[in-house]
Amino acid sequence: MTEVSEQFEVSPEFCEKYVYAKAWPLPRGGGHAPLPDKDDRYDVVVVGAGPSGLFLKLLLARYGLGDESVLCVDPKPRETDLGHADGIHARTMEVLATMGLEHEVVRQGRNFAVHAEWTKTPEGLKRLTQRPFFLSPARFGQLHSLHQGRFERVLSADLRKYVEHGVQYLTSVEKVKIDESDPEYPVVANIRNGDEVREVRSRYLVGADGAHSTVMRDMGIKMEGDIVDEIWGVADFVPESDFPDVRKIVRMMAGDSKLLAMTIPREKMSNGDWLCRVYVDMSENSHDIQSKANVIGDEQREEMRRRKADITREHILAQVAKVYAPYKIRPKPGTVVWWATYGTGQRLADKFHIEDSKQHPRVFLVGDACHTHSPRQGQGLNISIADSYYLSWRLAYVLNDLTPDSTSLLRTYALERRHWAQRVVFADKRWNQEGMPWEQAFQEMRDQVLGCGVEELPSLLVSEENNAVAWQGKDALNGTLRVGRRLFNVRVTRWADGSPWDIHDDFVTDGRYRMMLIASDDFPRGRSRAAVEGLLSLVDEFSNQLVELVVLQPNSEESFVWDDAPAGLKEHAEMRLHCADTKVYETYCVDPKEGAIALVRPDGMVCITTTLEETDKVREMLQRVLKTGLKPPNGTG
């Protein structure tokens, strides 16, 4: 999203009384860390505490990097109050589940159960389709809606379990530069708190400060791409409406291509009312049902900004009434809690990191600071969260001296995330600028919207042998075990106690690599036994605090006892030995007679698959990233 102009229509007292759940009173901005002294040094400075910056601060705190190690600053007085992003997709929910945070999103938010598509023609409105809102077979297949402020408070509440202060609010960064007169702390930031400006140094700095990023500007990073001649309005309110689908997710189309408006179901306020969000096209040509958004040049952008600044709340609500006529959608008196206007663009930073004179990455960008796109598919928050998720463990490995090649490891962040952002921006452009019919767009871009279709390029962290084995399948979105993709969740039965189990719950966010042995049908003997013994030797070599073993076996013979298993399996993986049925093997495209091994990174991505005999390839992959005989980063024990 770009060029957002937002307005609040209610007082903080109203928000505290009605908008926030009673468990989440409106924050007053307390718990600020003291402004650092001039000679303070930090491992990481995070600029911005929106979803991406706050999530990065939380992740680093969970890795044992506390307030004295990580400084996170934001000019706001507290977390976001109202509005902004509100869609949380399947992959983000999977990530939150690995941290035990998904329950609060489910409890406080809304899930999208039904999707309807309507068309507006000269003859009136017509519902084209209505169907269950089902995007994928992911563990959390439905989209969840929770406004950004509540989401940030979920993160903040968890952060307070690990650090005392957390975010330094009411503090901005005015200047960032690299100054290698102190080569250990070469990144310099001038930070302002009130009238006081001080200088802090850090090993690394992360710009999470939005589309108008100070970090991006000072580092000379350019945004490349298009701005389109399109203005949208959005409003959050309690609706009075006879529109039959006002409580569903709705796309209102003109003809078969141009999107005119959307309704998004929202969470419940503490007084019992339910919010609704409406997006509506405010462009001057939006009445023309055949029009497409046009790319504009620099000289036209000021004119678009002027037109956008002239749009009021009344204009937005009038356009909503016009688009949905003859039905009515209007707010109950006094319940427009937030409204905004925004311009749309698909833009991408030319660099996602800046290196020092020794070509070591020192400054990174995450979130809107390095990619902007339409908010209508809910990508902003989700891809920003993913940026921080992928960056955090890399920083933790480097700062704890766990990796033999810190420069190469950090460089993989920009390689992977820029590649994915390019795909998202391209898909967003096709969907919104080129007027692709909904059915075609849905099929072609489902993996981008979900975040479940990320496919990493070969690198230090991803094997170039792209599943060169007999069990290779193509549909990774539906489970196929594939290098460069996330590990798909399956349901298994834990052997030790017979409990049903989601395999993702063995892959928690704690900095560990995990070796998943999908045993052949000779387990616990034969080839499977040899594979277990080989993988257990790697656990000893690389530390059981940084490498774990997970085992799936295709049978549950009652005669099996631990004495039949290889020595060390019970001690190391008693509660990570699971019985997997035929469906699990079919989902992963693994032949039960052959078995397979998958090495999974701390961020849940499969980085290599091998046959049961190729544990040496697993060792080679681990040696790229981990030193031997190490202690883990704090927080992974």
pLDDT confidence of residue 143: 76
What is the pLDDT confidence band of residue 287, given thresholds at 50, 70 and 90?
Answer: very low
User: pLDDT digits over 322-344, tens only?
Assistant: 999 999 999 999 889 889 888 77
Residues 505-534 have a mean pLDDT of 95
pLDDT confidence of residue 326: 93
The C-alpha atoms of residue 271 and residue 252 are separated, in whole angstroms, by: 30
pLDDT confidence of residue 475: 72
Whether the pLDDT of residue 295 is over 60: the answer is no
pLDDT confidence of residue 307: 80
427 Cβ contact partners less than 8 Å away, ≥ 6 residues apart: 444, 445, 448, 449
- Quick check: helix, strand or coil at residue 76? coil
Residues 257-274 have a mean pLDDT of 84
E strands, 554-617, are 577-579, 596-600, 606-610
Whether the pLDDT of residue 480 is over 70: the answer is yes
Whether the pLDDT of residue 10 is over 70: the answer is no
pLDDT confidence of residue 423: 82
Residues 368-394 have a mean pLDDT of 84
User: pLDDT digits over 425-457, tens only?
Assistant: 777 776 665 555 556 666 555 666 667 778 888
Whether the pLDDT of residue 19 is over 50: the answer is no
Taking CA atoms, 306 is separated from 52, 231, 300, 343, in Å, by: 30, 11, 10, 11
Q: 96: part of which helix (H) or strand (E)?
A: helix 90-97
- Quick check: helix, strand or coil at residue 491? strand
pLDDT confidence of residue 290: 39
pLDDT confidence of residue 80: 75
pLDDT confidence of residue 21: 38
Q: Which residue has the higher pLDDT, 110 or 397?
A: 397
pLDDT confidence of residue 560: 77
The C-alpha atoms of residue 503 and residue 421 are separated, in whole angstroms, by: 28
pLDDT confidence of residue 434: 56
Residues 210-216 have a mean pLDDT of 90
Q: Which residue has the higher pLDDT, 535 or 282?
A: 535
Q: What pTM was computed for the model?
A: 0.89
pLDDT confidence of residue 360: 98
Q: In what order do the strands lie in the sheet with 87-88?
A: 87-88, 144-145, 110-111
111 Cβ contact partners less than 8 Å away, ≥ 6 residues apart: 142, 143, 144, 145
The domains found in the chain, sorted by start residue, are 2-430 (3.50.50.60), 455-625 (3.40.30.20)
Whether the pLDDT of residue 410 is over 60: the answer is yes
Whether the pLDDT of residue 550 is over 70: the answer is yes
Whether the pLDDT of residue 27 is over 70: the answer is no
The C-alpha atoms of residue 2 and residue 527 are separated, in whole angstroms, by: 56
pLDDT confidence of residue 229: 65
Mean per-residue pLDDT of the chain: 84
What is the pLDDT confidence band of residue 22, given thresholds at 50, 70 and 90?
Answer: very low
Whether the pLDDT of residue 404 is over 90: the answer is yes
